[in-house]
Structure 1
């Protein structure tokens, strides 16, 4: 592992962010909106922000960025309470100040020759998929056709409804969507084993495989897959991509201490052209080629 890569210097900012709003959802999920102009101006899909949850807790928490409004200088993150740090963060109110370090990490890189972007998010891995979708909508360098699939075993942090957008190849009965994406004109579908109405009854990666199996080779050659979620889900996503012969980028979720590459506590083994190597999820990732992380 090398510690000499300083390419991220000058691109990560520390700022005193202001809480604009914090909305609570079922299953201890929250969407936090912050005024963080420097982070908002530089953030790319797949990046995250390292937040100080409370003055009483020295360790920050890494949270994926879900939406950015560079003009207003705001960012939004979705998180689920896990441990005392995020419990403290959930108590922040509008007007409170939070130290924000970001944006951090290398993000997703869609390729124009594969405009059929298949975005797969599981649980708190949903936010980067929303960010990537919004970024693709703003690009005019290709005829981007994003399809967003989301999976959760707890209630989704939005009120799902039947989609108004037809998606050929979707399993019968899989009609639930994220309303905001539907309003953007972007098709989305939901998967869960919890029996929620309109959701595909199974894992979100199985839903992805079902849709991919409906495509001919010409269409498959235009598909690029992007995924974020728990490690078992990402491993399954890599297997699906391998099965259908499509490229896949995954955003890894790892515990982090410094989040700027100094502590090397988030190292993962990655296959490179020169052989196995240890990479830091925070600054070398969090996005990696799926097959480099999850070899067959």
Structure 2
């Protein structure tokens, strides 16, 4: 399987096109689906924060970008969580185990871990949850789960069976008890939030619990924290504000509509602050991960 050529030479040799066989594909409720595809090249190279550009059905030319949720390099599979929002993802939801679809990936700049900031706060909302799961798993494999905290939010039922947490998380308000079992099994402290009254979830936003935890840390502990976030634009703006409030670094993974997803069409550009001033950057290959302060340079205090 040969690397696909991209518009920018620096990305050549890092994005692979494979005919992936669907190993598992199931409805997780609320129009959410979990898809596992055999794509060894993508699985081997993928890093947390990256995504793949998937063919949804043989009749559809336009692909859809999906964040990578997990990989197994040994078994060669890549897993995605996605929500049906249009014709493309609805067609994808109709593909069955054993079917094949074209996988283009991994694509984009991943999250970068700073060893000087060993305490990580992971904030994921909606379809921004998958990159947080991938990052949590990587930290688990590196033996760093014990200093990792994750808050996941959703306004529709979560695509997994929540359970009461067995990991103590001092400083959180009452009612924050539900967790994602997968993360807790990895040793990651995790809590769920929702404004939709979901059982066990804290009635609030991911930043509410993040703020409560950060406020309860000693200054020397807080100085070791870095925030990682993915979700809708308003949520990421709030995460940038939270980071600024506590003077912490924050990396955000942006969600954006994409056409080619390999840097050729420039249809996913966003303004990003650089040393030479604001420049238009492509979310697909210059991102999707950026420093929050470069995308949200003046967080609103409203």
Q: Is 1:229 aligned to 2:201, yes or no?
A: no
Contact 2:38-2:78 within 8 A present in 1 as well: yes
* Cα distance change of structure 1 residues 79 and 143 upon mapping to structure 2, 3 Å threshold: closer
Superposed, 1:100-115 pairs within 5 Å as 100-115=103-118
- The alpha-carbon deviation at position 143 of structure 1 amounts to 8.0
**Where does 1:100-179 land on structure 2 (aligned, <5 Å)?**
100-139=103-142, 145-179=147-181
**Counterparts of 1:80 and 1:108, CA distance in 2:** 23
Count of aligned pairs between the two proteins? 293
Q: Counterparts of 1:139 and 1:25 in 2: how far apart (Å)?
A: 29
Aligned to 1:214: 216
- Measured against aligned partners, the alpha-carbon deviations of 1:98-134 in whole angstroms (never above 9, x if no partner) come to 0000000000001111111000000000000000011
* Shift, 1:6, TM fit: 2.1
What is residue 191 of structure 1 aligned with on the other side?
193
TM alignment of 1:35-114, pairs within 5 A:
35-114=38-117
Give 1:15 shift.
0.4
In 1: Cα distance, 2:8 partner to 2:210 partner: 36
Contact 1:117/1:144, CA 8 A, preserved across alignment:
no
Q: TM-score, normalised by structure 1?
A: 0.97
**Partner Cα separation in structure 1 for residue 208 and residue 187 of structure 2:** 24
Per-residue deviation, 1:31? 0.4
Change (3 A) 1:143 1:191: closer
- Which deviates the most, 154-163 or 213-222? 213-222
Partner of 1:11: 14
**Do the aligned partners of 1:171 and 1:211 also contact (CA within 8 Å) in 2?**
no
1:32 aligns to 2:31 (yes or no): no
> What is the DSSP-based 3-state SS (H/G/I as helix, E as strand, rest coil) of the residue aligned with 1:207?
helix
Runs of 5+ unmatched residues, structure 2: 1-5
Q: Distance in 2 between matches of 1:35 and 1:288?
A: 29
Deviations 1:136-158 (A, max 9, x none): 11225x68611111000000000
Structure-2-length-normalised TM-score: 0.95
Q: Which deviations, in whole Å up to 9, do the C-alpha atoms of 1:248-278 show, x marking residues without a partner?
A: 0000000000000000000000001111111
CA RMSD between the two structures: 1.3
Q: Which residue of 266, 288, 291 maps to 1:289?
A: 291
